[in-house]
Amino acid sequence: MRKNIVAGNWKMNKNLQEGIVLANELKELLNGATPNCEVVIGTPFIHLAAVAELVKGSAIKVAAQNCGDKESGAYTGEVSAAMVKSTGAEFVILGHSERREYYGETSATLNAKLALAFANGLTPIYCCGEPLAIREANAQNDFVKRQLDETIFALSADDFKKLAIAYEPIWAIGTGVTASTEQAQEMLAYIRSLIADKFGKEIAENTSILYGGSCNAKNAPELFAQPDIDGGLIGGASLKSADFKAIIDAF
């Protein structure tokens, strides 16, 4: 059975003290309960160790939002997958459209990052999704298929089984425009069909595929009720503990 996952992506928000307050609020709201989904918070690198320590023993797990594409060495400013792992983080978000768009992340860099994430025992949350012009040209399926073909579809089945996927149409990220439930379900079903073609039906059925893009407490119940939507990658709404908790409770 695939897991339902609600993952927060704080992006470049909250200083260390504010991040600790936010993580602590969420921990208190969960109050020792086991939610009906896996709960992950993706913090900036410098928060990881403190937040991982704070949430130890709770249902909350911690993700980095990126990792380096090299193992170690003279790469000023970079943070390796091994370093991320050593903080107590268990997940790493890879291939977010903001990384692809603003930091020139390519499929080749992503493949290096994926390999290092697996080598260091991190679970990748691999992001894909099309820009507005591609959606308007109704070419989103080919676009997303290409992203997958160039990256995670080149993995071994053993590695592929360990990751989660987040489909995030770029036009819905941070814009307040959510993909309609039908658009999200349709794309996630399509991605699942591609996984079945590539790795077989069983692996496809067991892969967690999340929707991301202006997901909030209001629209989460309808989105999460869809057969192929196994949770959400949540940006803005993960910065308020009560909103994020309400999204978790949508399961």
Shortest separation between residue 156's beta carbon and ligand PGA, angstroms: 27
For the chain, how many residues are written?
A: 251
Shortest separation between residue 27's beta carbon and ligand PGA, angstroms: 21
Tell me if 163 sits within 8 A of 209, measured CB to CB: no
Residue number, 184 or 204, with CB nearest to ligand PGA: 184
Q: What is the dihedral of CA 42, 237, 99, 204, to 10 degrees?
A: 70
Shortest separation between residue 32's beta carbon and ligand PGA, angstroms: 27
Tokens of 191: 């991605």
Shortest separation between residue 17's beta carbon and ligand PGA, angstroms: 22
Residue number, 122 or 204, with CB nearest to ligand PGA: 122
Shortest separation between residue 172's beta carbon and ligand PGA, angstroms: 6
Give the footprint of ligand PGA on this chain (CB under 6 A): 9, 168, 173-174, 212-215, 233-237
96 as an active site residue: the answer is yes
Cα separation, 250 vs 205, whole angstroms: 21
Distances (CA, A) of 98 to 112, 211, 230, 247: 18, 16, 22, 23
- 38, 96, 105, 130: which is the annotated catalytic residue? 96
Q: Give the β-pairing of 60-64 and 38-42.
A: parallel
Cα separation, 191 vs 149, whole angstroms: 11
Residue number, 114 or 233, with CB nearest to ligand PGA: 233
Q: What is the DSSP string of 176-189?
A: S-PPPHHHHHHHHH
- 38, 98, 130, 168: which is the annotated catalytic residue? 168
Residue number, 68 or 232, with CB nearest to ligand PGA: 232
Tokens 């425009």: give the residue.
177
Residue number, 165 or 204, with CB nearest to ligand PGA: 165
Shortest separation between residue 57's beta carbon and ligand PGA, angstroms: 27
Tell me if 7 sits within 8 A of 248, measured CB to CB: no
Residue number, 95 or 213, with CB nearest to ligand PGA: 213
Chain centre distance of CA 26: 18
E strands, the chain, where?
A: 5-9, 38-42, 60-64, 91-94, 123-128, 164-167, 209-212, 231-234
- Residue closest to ligand PGA (Cβ): 235
Q: Which residues are catalytic?
A: 96, 168
